[in-house]
Every structure is written in C-alpha cells, then in structure tokens.
Amino acid sequence: MIIDSTPKKDGFVMPAEYEKHDATIMIFPERPGSWPYEAKEAQKVFAGIIKNVAASEKIYVVVSGNTKEKAAELLEGTANVEFLEIPTDDAWARDTAPTFVKNRSTGEVRAVNWSFNAWGGDYDGLYAHYEKDNALAKSICEKTGYDVYDAEPFVLEGGSIHSDGCGTIMATESCLLSPGRNPKLSKKEIEEKLKDYLGADKIVWLPRGIYNDETNEHVDNMCSFINKNEVVLAWTDDNNDPQYEMSLACLETLEKEGIIVHKLPIPDHPVTVLEDDLMGYVFEEGEDTREVGERLAASYVNFYFTNKAILLPQFGGENEESDKRAVKILSELCKDRKVIPIPARDIIVGGGNIHCITQQIPAKG
Amino acid sequence: MIIDSTPKKDGFVMPAEYEKHDATIMIFPERPGSWPYEAKEAQKVFAGIIKNVAASEKIYVVVSGNTKEKAAELLEGTANVEFLEIPTDDAWARDTAPTFVKNRSTGEVRAVNWSFNAWGGDYDGLYAHYEKDNALAKSICEKTGYDVYDAEPFVLEGGSIHSDGCGTIMATESCLLSPGRNPKLSKKEIEEKLKDYLGADKIVWLPRGIYNDETNEHVDNMCSFINKNEVVLAWTDDNNDPQYEMSLACLETLEKEGIIVHKLPIPDHPVTVLEDDLMGYVFEEGEDTREVGERLAASYVNFYFTNKAILLPQFGGENEESDKRAVKILSELCKDRKVIPIPARDIIVGGGNIHCITQQIPAKG
C-alpha cells in the first residue's frame, strides 16, 4: 500500500543500522560490467555474506531468472533465506532496495521509495538503463508486505545517508548536492525532503567522502554511526594522499557538531584495477568503464551491522596489516558484536562494498 | 555489579516508556498511611493492574513478609508474574525502583540507582523513615541481575522525569529545583546529572505540574511523551481552576520547543478525600496526613504503557464523562494500543496513580 503522507507526519524515524533487525535485503550479482568473469567470484563472496547475515537474522535474497539456480545452489541448506524473484539492473541493495522507517510508539515499520537514477542520471550516472533498479523498492514491498511512503521524484540512494535513529541524518555534500541528483532543489529543500521522509530534525553535512568514489562520495563509505553521537571515520595520516584533506574536512565538521570520532585508517596501499580484472568485465553502451591502475574507493567503513556481528571488508595482499588493524579497532569499539573479516576485493571491483550490497529492515515492536 | 562510570560515557540512554519492555516492576501495597483500611481495596486494584501488565510482558512484583500470601492469593494462576521479597516503606515503584537505560548499539540494559528521600526529606518529605525505599533499587538489581550505575547522593524519583528515548528529558522545575531534593546544586548542575545518568543531551523544563500534587508536581502526572516530539498535557479550560495557569505555562514552554501537544483534560470535578477514606488511614509519626475535602492530584496523564496497552486511570462517580473523554482521546492518539480503563480512586487516595506504581524495564537487544 502506498501511503499518502510522510514518515515525519506519522511519527516514523529511520532507526540506526545497529538497532535490532527483522531482516536484511541483498541482491544476487550478475551484471557483466560490474562483476568480472560472469560474476563467479562475486557470487561466491555474496553467498558467504548471506550466510553470515543468516546466522542471526532473516535475509531476503533478490534473484533473477538467470541467477536463481546458482543462488539456490550456493545457499543450499542455509536457514533464514527467502528468495524474491525480481529483475534488477545490478546488485546494490543499499541503493535500490527501500529505506525503512519505524514508529517507536506503535512499533510499526514502513518503507520509503526513492527515485533511483544510477548515481547521477544523464549528468554522471554509471549506467544508462536503470528502470528495473528504480522499480525494485516497490516490488520488494509488494512481495514482503511493507507499506510504502513514496518520495519520488526525489532522487536518493540509501548509501548516501546514515541515521542515528534519533532524528539526525549524516550525508555528504559532494553527493546530495551533485547536479546529477536533484538539481532543481536548494540545499535547504533537500534537507526538508530528508527530514520529511526519514523523520529527521537535523542533517549533519560532511563535505566529502572517499577519494575516487564513483557514487559522488556516499557517506556509507566514509563515516558510520556506531552509537548515538559516535562515529568511525575513514582516515589517513599521509598528507600526500588525496584522501587526507577530504577526511580532515569531515573530522572538523564532526568535531564542531560535538560528535565523538574514531579514526578508521583506509588500506595502507591503494586497491587498484588489475589487467586481469579488466579482461573479465563486459561493459554495455552508456556504462562507465574501468581502466588498469584505477584506484578503487576501498574503505573499511563500508561494513555492515547484523544482529550479532559486524561484516568487515578485507582487501588482502599488501593490505594484510591494515586489514588486521581495522578488525582490531572495530572489535574494541563494538565489544558486544563479533567482527567477521570478509575478503572483499571481489566486491570492491564492482565499485562498492559490503554496506552497499546490504539493506536492513528494522525490527517491528 | 556497581559500574564506576555514567550511562552518558558508556553510550546508554533512557528509552521512551512506549518502546518495547522486557518487564515491569510493581510493589504490592500495605502502608497504612497511604492505603486506607489495611490496603484491602488498593491490593485488589493493584492485582488487577498486575494482571493487565502480565497480559503482554513479564512483571516483577515486590512483596514483603506481610503481603506475600495475599499477593499470591490475588494473583494465583497469573502467568508472567515473578515475586521478589524485599522490604519497602511504600508501593511507588516508579519512584523507588531503578530507572533503566539502554545502549542501542549493543542492546544492553542497565539500571540507575538514585538517592530517595520520600519526596523532600526533612524539608517537605512525606514520611520520616525511607531507608527501605532508598535501598530498594539496588536490591532489585541484585535479584534480577542488572548492573547498576549509582547516582547517589543525587536525589531523584523516576516520576519526576520522562524520556523521549533520544536524549531529551522532560521534568518540572517545581519538583527538581525544590529545596527538598538537591539544594546544593544549581539548575545547571542538576541538568548535568540528568544528562550524565540518563544519557541525555537536552532538558525540557516545564514550570509546573498538577495542582496540590504532594510530590512537588512530578512531570509524570502532568505531561507524557506518546511519541518523539509529541506529548499529552493535563489541561483545563476553566480559568478559575488553579490548574489553568499551571497547564498554560507548560503549554507555552512546549510550544516554544516545537513539541506537538495534545490536551488531555483533567477530571471535570475535583477528586477529594472523603470522611470515609480518612477513617481508614493510620498515620505514623512524621508522616504527612490527609484531611476531608482535600483535593487529590487526579490526572489522566498518569497512565502506563504496557507492550500492548495503555492502562488509564478512571475516577468514576460524577467524573464518568471526563473518564470516557480521556479514553477516547488516548485511543485516537495511540491507535495500535488498547486503552484499558482502570478504576483508580483507590490508588489516588494514596497520592499517586498507575504511572507512579509501575516502572518499565526496556527490552534488551
């Protein structure tokens, strides 16, 4: 059911990701321009993540006619998995599945549908055809029974926002104010949309995100709430790295807001596209392509909270030491959750990471 | 275990009452100066409330050596009831049981112990001996296994605060700034204590509470959150009633804060102490006494949220119409909860109402 109102009017707010979930949504990958070599490695890594999520909550896995058999094979015998057969353009559930809001008084959970234009539409979108992705959120709601607030034609991806569950939304200016999203709206009008559809009363604007992040620097790759008024921020101490000024600018904003910041250093060595990767992609017309040596937007902040764990990207190779450092930092900050290291090079080659391919449905009640 | 820190430092916040509970705490009544005729009628009404709570959550019922048999008899066959045998001075669980705080990231719930001095100690306290009540919170924690933050010697009763679950605490100046509580602390210092021990970042100060409320006008008889940024406020349109100016002053404060206010009219006719009531009380030395015709602090705001219902005081007799009005207003505001009318004259003769005799333990996780 489409609800002709807004979450704000009805007393709904977007819970924090670390609050209890009823379920997670993921999409099984197949797009040849995102996942090299017919997505074989990506599918294995996604299946591993699905199993880790399923260990403490239900997981909806969106499959297509092409992927359903492979998904069923790789996930055979895994409890808590429910397949939803819906066509998609790619596998970024964070950005194309609904965002969920909750009324803390009644305990009811509802969905929000945004307009999706592949991270920038004609201006700087990453693929030319995104009709299926744009229709996904409503299809998921139909199949799962969640009522939906419809924010269209407002363009937004779930990865471009984080909520503290108490009315504060964190976002990057580089993304939300990019001309590829809502060029006719002023910053103030964009703030009002976020407030109306996420039940928020305050927006913390970080200036930038991760260097070379093709989403126009989504916040979810840069900074994540780990508690109310407490975040981890992607960081580097190397002032020759282009990331340095970007992280520093965010740190200054967060400190001005009185938010407790824990630095989470990015990988010690750039994660780049290799010749072997490049030979595996098949790009379609109008799709953003890759090149050898291109620096990928690798960040440890792109982790995901399940009910019992944190699924943390690891990049391997010469980044073994920084991989371990990230595990240690998050383990110390989030003592009640098990930090599970996930080899994630086969996800970052698609352009995002574990947070980008997951979307939580907060617990009812 | 006593925790040598504060909820604020550890990322704990007091959830809103309407969020999910793991349990409720009540105390079986017996004090002769509060409950006329050996508390016979009060015990029946308390037992009815306990059964209504037990319908949707666990309830801990604190009993003494004197009351345990009667409580067991009246509650025989009721599921979800656990008795805790601990001596008390009276039955106001809201004010003498612990306050509970939750870390939304880890899901952990902990308790806070305040200093209790019977609503004013030597200055204007209601009874002279309150050692057992002051020791109650820690005893409950020992028996139920909750770790405790110890706010002593800071004096506070649970009924003098409401939380929106997101860092805003609502309290009355008339109570918290009364010389009977923390006379050596400034308003600013009292704010800091509330922030530290309830994980709050903002205090909304209502100037007054309910006329003739012997708690120095606890907020829980005057104004209650029904959602984030939304309250019900005790109200009268009769500008000859002393309540009029008190409610108006609070309305002005709430409107300035941008909080949505729903007016909940007080009973149409004053609820007073009758000669028959008076003959039933047995007062001890140093105890505040009652007199015939004394106006009791009757208010419909003194309701309690259980997981599935709102338990709403009703005063009966010539207030039948305003009783029904209150049921109607709350039913329309809180559509997902069943409003259960509870004849509560036998509680208000003790000086408080349903909210004053209940204390929620928020759900873990």
pLDDT per position as a tens digit, A242-267: 999 999 999 999 999 999 999 999 99
pLDDT of residue B40: 96
Please, are residues A107 and A362 in contact by the beta-carbon 8 Å criterion? no
What is the interface size between A and B, counted as CB pairs within 8 Å?
A: 65
- Choice among B141, B223, B250, B356 that is catalytic: B356
Is residue A365 very low, low, confident or very high in pLDDT (cuts 50, 70, 90)? confident
DSSP B317: G
- Model confidence, pTM: 0.89
Share of chain B above pLDDT 90, in %: 97
Interface probe for B, chosen from A108, A195, A228 (most Cβ of B below 10 Å), is A228
* CA-based R_g, chain A, Å: 19
Strand partners for B272: B295
Q: How far apart are CA B355 and CA B310, in angstroms?
A: 10
Strand partners for A100: A111
Q: How many other C-beta atoms can be found within 10 angstroms of the C-beta atom of residue B50?
A: 24
Q: Give the closest-approach CA distance of B18 to chain A in angstroms.
A: 5
Q: Say yes or no for a CB contact (<8 Å) between A228 and B11.
A: yes
Among B210, B305, B232, B270, which residue's Cα sits nearest to residue B17? B305
Please, are residues A84 and A61 in contact by the beta-carbon 8 Å criterion? yes
Nearest chain B alpha carbon to A305: B105
Please, are residues B225 and B303 in contact by the beta-carbon 8 Å criterion? no
Q: Say yes or no for a CB contact (<8 Å) between B167 and A165.
A: no
Share of chain A above pLDDT 90, in %: 97
The low-confidence residues of chain B, meaning pLDDT below 70, are: none
Is residue A106 very low, low, confident or very high in pLDDT (cuts 50, 70, 90)? confident
Please, are residues A175 and A215 in contact by the beta-carbon 8 Å criterion? yes
Average confidence (pLDDT) over A36-52: 97
Q: Say yes or no for a CB contact (<8 Å) between A11 and B165.
A: no
Average confidence (pLDDT) over A201-222: 97
Q: Give the closest-approach CA distance of A360 to chain B in angstroms.
A: 14
Least CB–CB distance from B230: residue in A11, A107, A229: A11
pLDDT of residue B336: 86
pLDDT of residue B92: 98
Least CB–CB distance from B11: residue in A11, A19, A227: A227
Cβ-based contacts of A228 with chain B (< 8 Å): 11, 13, 104, 166-167, 199
pLDDT surpassing 90 at residue A19: yes
**Burial of residue A304 (number of CB atoms within 10 Å: 0-12, 13-18, 19+):** buried
Sequential DSSP letters for A18-63: TSPEEEEEEE----TTTSTGGGHHHHHHHHHHHHHHHTTSEEEEEE
Among A135, A64, A47, which residue's Cα sits nearest to residue A97? A135
pLDDT of residue A228: 86
What are the backbone angles phi and psi of residue A219, rounded to the nearest 5°? -65, -30
Count Cα neighbours of A243 within 13 Å in the Cβ-side half-sphere.
26
Cβ-based contacts of A227 with chain B (< 8 Å): 11, 103-105
pLDDT of residue A13: 96
CA angle A139, A141, A142 (to 5 degrees): 65
CA angle B179, B162, B82 (to 5 degrees): 105
At position B43, the amino acid (one-letter code) is Q
pLDDT of residue B23: 98
DSSP B86: -
Interface probe for B, chosen from A22, A105, A166 (most Cβ of B below 10 Å), is A105
pLDDT of residue A336: 86
Q: How far apart are CA B350 and CA B35, in angstroms?
A: 6
Q: Give the closest-approach CA distance of A165 to chain B in angstroms.
A: 8
Q: Say yes or no for a CB contact (<8 Å) between B104 and A228.
A: yes
Give the pair of three-digit tokens for residue A160: 């471009």
Average confidence (pLDDT) over A184-196: 98
DSSP A79: T
Q: Say yes or no for a CB contact (<8 Å) between B228 and A336.
A: no
* Residues of A catalogued as catalytic: 356
Share of chain A above pLDDT 70, in %: 100
Nearest chain B alpha carbon to A364: B20
Q: Say yes or no for a CB contact (<8 Å) between B19 and A108.
A: no
Q: Where do we find the tokens 């209150």?
A: B326
Q: Say yes or no for a CB contact (<8 Å) between A18 and B103.
A: no
Q: Say yes or no for a CB contact (<8 Å) between A108 and B336.
A: yes
Q: How far apart are CA A114 and CA A182, in angstroms?
A: 12
Tell which phi-psi region holds residue A252, choosing left (phi > 0), alpha (psi between -120 and 50) or beta: alpha
Interface probe for A, chosen from B12, B104, B108 (most Cβ of A below 10 Å), is B104
Interface probe for B, chosen from A13, A104, A225, A262 (most Cβ of B below 10 Å), is A104
pLDDT of residue A14: 98
- Please name each of the domains of chain B with its CATH number: 2-362 (3.75.10.10)
Q: How far is CA A99 from CA A66, A272, B51, in A?
A: 26, 31, 39
Tell which phi-psi region holds residue A287, choosing left (phi > 0), alpha (psi between -120 and 50) or beta: beta
Least CB–CB distance from B365: residue in A20, A106, A166: A20
Q: How does pLDDT run across B123-167, given as a tens digit for each residue?
A: 999 999 999 999 999 999 999 999 999 999 999 999 999 999 999
Give the pair of three-digit tokens for residue A186: 């002023």
Least CB–CB distance from A166: residue in B18, B20, B166: B166
Cβ-based contacts of A362 with chain B (< 8 Å): none
